[in-house]
């Protein structure tokens, strides 16, 4: 048995599961919104605004969940500021420190885009729409999209840097979480705009099909890379059944079938989107708690 089975668990529980899930959706939704804004048509803007509306509240909730998981929540600011000198506490060698700053950067750019989107529809002063239009809008979308890309995938990389069973036995967790972040982000955008027949929604449906196929491939490669010495005690049990049924069947294969065969009529599109979201959540539950259980 690998020596990682004898290490102490970080005791991450449901706060972190929800953080991984919501952070992935937020990052994926913003990155997709930025792509639509940078390379799409003016008619795509309603869908891109939905991405901004998802991303900023998602960044706030993600930060709150991280703070709630701390043993001393009132000291959360120590992750960003040195307590003695009050200088920025950026530690490039610490995945948690890099992640905290990445989340802060994502929160900043998603806030600007959120304000810009509200200004674009007349809720805030029109001048603030510059945050999502023109040169300044392009800068916000590029930097926000990159930070969303980072947020969607870094949680898997964070797990890989630990010395725990499953997490430290593969380098594919970051890519798996990144692809899942894009598929769940696209699914939520589709769910919120499925009645629209805009080119953006059709693009999202096609993109979600390809990301689901890629997610299945990456998941298979990940499991093959781990080896049976780790899989047997970690996933050859109820967690493995949940992964197979909840993620592979419910979260990937059934939505793919519904994308190609509209078996549920008008409810096909929202049903597929809901199943993708359920599968994305179960993926993080299994990947996090199955290792914590050994």
For 196-210, the pLDDT digits (tens) are: 878 999 999 999 999
Q: What is the pLDDT of residue 267?
A: 87
Q: What is the pLDDT of residue 240?
A: 93
Binned at pLDDT 50, 70 and 90, residue 68 comes out as: confident
pLDDT in tens, 26-45: 999 999 999 999 998 988 99
Indicate the Cα dihedral angle 162, 164, 168, 174, nearest 10°. -70
In this predicted structure, the answer to whether residue 186 has a pLDDT above a threshold of 90 is yes
Q: What number is the average pLDDT over the span 219-225?
A: 93
Mean pLDDT score across all residues of the chain: 90
In this predicted structure, the answer to whether residue 59 has a pLDDT above a threshold of 90 is yes
Q: Long-range pairs for 202-207 at CB < 8 Å and ≥24 separation?
A: 203/36, 204/32, 204/47, 205/259, 205/269, 207/32, 207/182
In this predicted structure, the answer to whether residue 70 has a pLDDT above a threshold of 90 is no
Token pair recorded at residue 245:
């049924």
In this predicted structure, the answer to whether residue 3 has a pLDDT above a threshold of 80 is no
Q: What is the pLDDT of residue 5?
A: 66
Residues 238, 159 contacting (CB under 8 angstroms): no
Q: What number is the average pLDDT over the span 219-238?
A: 89
Token pair recorded at residue 46:
């309603």
Q: How many helices (H) and strands (E) are present in the chain, helices listed first?
A: 10, 0
Whether this model's pTM surpasses 0.75: yes
Q: What is the pLDDT of residue 161?
A: 81
Q: What is the pLDDT of residue 170?
A: 87
In this predicted structure, the answer to whether residue 108 has a pLDDT above a threshold of 90 is yes
Q: What is the pLDDT of residue 96?
A: 78
Q: What is the pLDDT of residue 85?
A: 81
In this predicted structure, the answer to whether residue 58 has a pLDDT above a threshold of 90 is yes
Q: Long-range pairs for 95-102 at CB < 8 Å and ≥24 separation?
A: 95/154, 95/157, 95/158, 95/161, 96/158, 98/154, 99/154, 99/155, 99/158, 100/66, 102/147, 102/150, 102/151, 102/154
């Amino acid at each position: 048995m690998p020596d990682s089975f004898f290490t102490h668990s970080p005791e991450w529980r449901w706060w972190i599961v929800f953080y991984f899930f919501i952070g992935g959706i937020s990052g994926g939704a913003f990155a997709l919104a930025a792509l639509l804004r940078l390379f799409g048509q003016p008619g795509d803007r309603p869908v891109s605004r939905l991405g901004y509306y998802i991303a900023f509240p998602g960044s706030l909730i993600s930060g709150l969940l991280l703070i709630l998981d701390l043993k001393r929540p009132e000291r959360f600011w120590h992750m960003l500021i040195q307590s003695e000198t009050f200088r920025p506490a950026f530690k490039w060698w610490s995945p948690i420190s890099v992640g905290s700053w990445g989340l802060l950067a994502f929160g900043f750019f998603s806030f600007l885009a959120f304000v810009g989107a509200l200004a674009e529809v007349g809720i805030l002063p029109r001048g603030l729409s510059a945050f999502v239009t023109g040169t300044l809008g392009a800068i916000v979308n590029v930097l926000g999209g990159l930070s969303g890309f980072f947020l969607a995938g870094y949680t898997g990389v964070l797990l890989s840097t630990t010395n725990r069973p499953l997490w430290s036995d593969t380098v594919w967790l970051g890519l798996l979480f990144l692809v899942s972040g894009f598929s769940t982000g696209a699914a939520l955008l589709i769910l919120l705009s499925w009645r629209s027949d805009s080119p953006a929604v059709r693009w999202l449906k096609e993109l979600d099909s390809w990301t689901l196929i890629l997610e299945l491939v990456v998941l298979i490669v990940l499991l093959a890379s781990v080896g049976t010495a780790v899989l047997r005690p970690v996933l050859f049990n109820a967690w493995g059944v949940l992964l197979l049924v909840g993620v592979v069947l419910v979260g990937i294969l059934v939505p793919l079938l519904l994308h190609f065969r509209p078996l549920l009529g008008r409810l096909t599109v929202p049903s597929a989107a809901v199943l993708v979201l359920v599968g994305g959540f179960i993926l993080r539950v299994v990947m996090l708690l199955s290792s914590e259980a050994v």
